[in-house]
């Protein structure tokens, strides 16, 4: 059942279009992420659902009722703010109890619920602590308990893990998932961290420049990106600009820099001569001679430019004759020890390891794309 629905939301600040035509249904108990780089409109979307901002046009529906003009204090949404926004003059228990006291609940119930909520987030015994006496992770948990105490229609989380270090962030990701399962409330999670979104979400809305590029499950978004932006933003992708030469049933033939390649049509029909993008994930790119899973999809001549041991895989970067950089993640079965920097290599992939993004590629985006903070975890 749909709990929250946003429909054709448009929001501008002066000349700047923050959101354009956002439409999304969020089901009861679903974990939905708004994912995108900063300035893509994801926080604006969340604030419109919370009622802190109002859309220029479009509507927000909760349980089927239009809620556009209702102020935040009468919406029953729970928000976890980026900086937590805990009340510094109140203890953890009083912070959590705030929402209950506002609703004039009896004192006995307030105390019991506050204790329960703090227990749910794993903070038993910290009731009397003030925010400044707690670590970032603990403050985060208090904020979560505070937002959940009124059993809101949806919990809105605005980059809540951004300020935590990598280890703690991973712990909190799993914690959030566990808490969400326990309370069964719709979670709307805003983040710029694709790994975070992949780990926790049932569905992800990938946004850029106010537009929604794709809405889908993590698997769909990773394996079948709708646009070159999505392909590059989620994980690492090798992108090649190609031209359609022909289609025979499920198989599409394309011409790209350095050869002729094959890919699956995935139910789409391609016009001969149209420009599209071929995506090969680094784990699907291997040196020729290594085992291929399925029929060959293509290959390309290149020179190894770097080999970096990363534990489970060796990150192998190569450069094609056309000057395009590609990255392959090589496992032990790919025999990476036979490669050396500066030596020529033919990189190959299977037809199922390639995916056609039905969109022409900006020439500047050819080659490997990945977000800067993808691996630093900063």
Residue 279 near residue 324, CB atoms below 8 Å: no
Residue 228 near residue 359, CB atoms below 8 Å: yes
With a CB cutoff of 8 Å and minimum separation 6, the contacts of 276 are 242, 243, 244, 254, 270, 356, 357, 358, 359, 360, 361
Q: Within a 10 A sphere around the Cβ of 303, how many other Cβ atoms?
A: 13
- How far, in Å, CA of 259 to CA of 196, rounded? 37
Residue number, 105 or 305, with CB nearest to other proteins? 105
Strands 16-27 and 2-13 come out as: antiparallel
Residue 117 beta carbon to other proteins: minimum distance, rounded to whole angstroms: 12
Residue number, 86 or 205, with CB nearest to other proteins? 86
- How far, in Å, CA of 204 to CA of 308, rounded? 31
Residue 104 beta carbon to other proteins: minimum distance, rounded to whole angstroms: 10
Q: Which residues bind other proteins (CB under 8 A)?
A: 50-52, 71-74, 76-79, 81, 83, 85-89, 98-99, 102-103, 130, 132, 146-147, 149-150
DSSP bridge pairs for 20: 10
Residue number, 69 or 342, with CB nearest to other proteins? 69
Residue 50 beta carbon to other proteins: minimum distance, rounded to whole angstroms: 6
Residue number, 52 or 220, with CB nearest to other proteins? 52
Residue 51 beta carbon to other proteins: minimum distance, rounded to whole angstroms: 8
Residue number, 80 or 366, with CB nearest to other proteins? 80
DSSP secondary structure string for all residues of 52-110: SS--SEEEEEETTEE-TT--GGGT--EEE-TT----TTS-HHHHHHHHHHHTT--HHHH
Residue number, 79 or 368, with CB nearest to other proteins? 79
Angle between helices 166-183 and 136-148 (to 10 degrees): 20
Tokens representing residue 340 in the block: 């050396």
DSSP secondary structure string for all residues of 232-294: HHSS-EEEEEEEEEEEETTEEEEEETTEEEEEE-TT----TT-EEEEEE-GGG-EEBTB--SS
DSSP bridge pairs for 24: 6
Residue 101 beta carbon to other proteins: minimum distance, rounded to whole angstroms: 8
Residue number, 147 or 318, with CB nearest to other proteins? 147
Residue 71 beta carbon to other proteins: minimum distance, rounded to whole angstroms: 7
Q: What is the residue whose two structure tokens read 């980059």?
A: 159
Residue number, 147 or 292, with CB nearest to other proteins? 147
Q: Within a 10 A sphere around the Cβ of 364, how many other Cβ atoms?
A: 6
Residue number, 88 or 323, with CB nearest to other proteins? 88
- Binning the chain into helix, strand and coil, the percentages to the nearest 5 are 30, 35, 35
Q: What is the residue whose two structure tokens read 């003059």?
A: 89
Residue 229 beta carbon to other proteins: minimum distance, rounded to whole angstroms: 31
Residue 342 beta carbon to other proteins: minimum distance, rounded to whole angstroms: 49
Residue 121 beta carbon to other proteins: minimum distance, rounded to whole angstroms: 16
């Amino acid at each position: 059942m749909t709990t929250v629905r946003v429909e054709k939301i448009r929001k501008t600040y002066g000349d700047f279009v923050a959101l354009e035509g956002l439409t999304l249904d969020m089901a009861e108990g679903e974990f939905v992420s708004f994912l995108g780089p900063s300035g893509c409109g994801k926080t604006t979307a969340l604030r419109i659902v919370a009622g802190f901002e109002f859309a220029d046009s479009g509507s927000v529906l909760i349980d089927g009722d239009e809620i556009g003009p209702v102020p935040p204090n009468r919406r029953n949404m729970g928000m976890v703010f980026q900086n937590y926004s805990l009340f510094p003059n109140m203890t953890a228990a009083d912070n959590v109890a705030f929402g209950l006291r506002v609703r004039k609940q009896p004192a006995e119930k307030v105390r019991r619920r506050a204790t329960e909520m703090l227990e749910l987030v794993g903070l038993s015994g910290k009731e009397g602590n003030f925010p400044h006496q707690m670590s970032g992770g603990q403050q985060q948990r208090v904020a979560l308990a505070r937002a959940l105490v009124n059993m809101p229609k949806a919990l809105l989380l605005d980059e809540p893990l951004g300020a935590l270090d990598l280890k703690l962030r991973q712990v909190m990701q799993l914690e959030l998932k566990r808490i969400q399962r326990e309370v069964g409330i719709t979670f709307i999670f805003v983040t710029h961290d694709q790994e975070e979104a992949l780990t926790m979400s049932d569905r992800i809305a990938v946004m850029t420049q106010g537009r929604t590029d794709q809405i889908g499950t993590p698997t769909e978004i990773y394996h079948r990106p709708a646009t070159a932006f999505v392909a590059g933003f989620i994980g690492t992708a090798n992108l090649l600009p190609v031209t359609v030469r022909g289609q025979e049933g499920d198989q599409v033939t394309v011409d790209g820099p350095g050869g002729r390649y094959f890919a699956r049509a995935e139910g789409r029909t391609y016009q001969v001569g149209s420009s599209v993008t071929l995506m090969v994930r680094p784990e699907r790119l291997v040196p020729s001679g290594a085992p291929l899973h399925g029929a060959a999809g293509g290959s390309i001549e290149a020179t190894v430019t770097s080999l970096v041991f990363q534990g489970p895989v060796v990150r192998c970067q190569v450069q094609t004759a056309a000057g395009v950089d590609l990255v392959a993640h090589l496992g032990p079965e790919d025999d990476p020890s036979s490669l050396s920097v500066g030596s020529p290599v033919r990189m190959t992939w299977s037809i199922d390891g390639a995916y056609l993004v039905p969109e022409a590629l900006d020439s500047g985006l050819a080659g490997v794309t990945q977000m800067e903070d993808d691996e630093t975890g900063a």
